[in-house]
Structure 1
């Protein structure tokens, strides 16, 4: 079998500047050089991978909490505070407003949406002993 590893995740957005600001100021991602140099695309670092946002027609895109980008942190409480300070509503895995939930394995997690309705999960998967 080939050695596959995560490279990037791409989403289409209505407004490139609004979405870029959200991913930097709210989520806390670092913007990196867009090697395509196309003005309607911006890139962000996610650990060893990347998030690419592409401005374009989003009218046919439907979102659901069951299809989401998952990020992990060692400071879930700090991330909750960060999102609360930006008035971002947190949800559980069913999309119901909730501060956070705990999975059966004890990992705390929550979900929230970006300006285009894409769902993002944040969890503390590596910080829980088991």
Structure 2
């Protein structure tokens, strides 16, 4: 059996420029060339060769729930929480308690918030 690795995550967005700005502002992601096509889809580097593809789908409804989310890890969750507070981004724990982080049974702390299209993002300290 072959070994598989995550290459990229692709999400549909209403306004690709707004989404690019959000992910750059919140996570400092660098835009990279879309080498697949001349489409208006824009790519961001997640590090370690991984990518986030933002595919414009204006007018389409995105239906999300917290169980389907992008999870990113950082070694300094406290600084990241300060960063998103400074950006006036509302966050909560898994249960939805505003401005609260959550400690899982395995000791990992995490917060949740949404991007401009309503996608849920978890940031934890499992780095």
- Whether the TM-score (by the shorter chain) exceeds 0.5 is yes
Q: What SS does structure 2 have at the residue aligned with 1:53?
A: strand
Q: How far apart are 1:91 and its partner, in Å?
A: 1.4
Summarize the Cα distance change of 1:6–1:58 in structure 2 as closer, same or farther, 3 Å threshold. Answer: farther
Q: What SS does structure 1 have at the residue aligned with 2:31?
A: strand
1:72 maps to 73
1:97 maps to 98
| Superposition TM-score, scaled by structure 2 size | 0.91
Q: What SS does structure 1 have at the residue aligned with 2:36?
A: coil
Structure 2 gaps of 5+ residues are none
Summarize the Cα distance change of 1:70–1:58 in structure 2 as closer, same or farther, 3 Å threshold. Answer: farther
| Superposition TM-score, scaled by structure 1 size | 0.89
CA contact (8 A) 1:16 1:54 kept: yes
1:45 maps to 45
1:11 maps to 11
Structure 1 gaps of 5+ residues are none
1:25 maps to 25
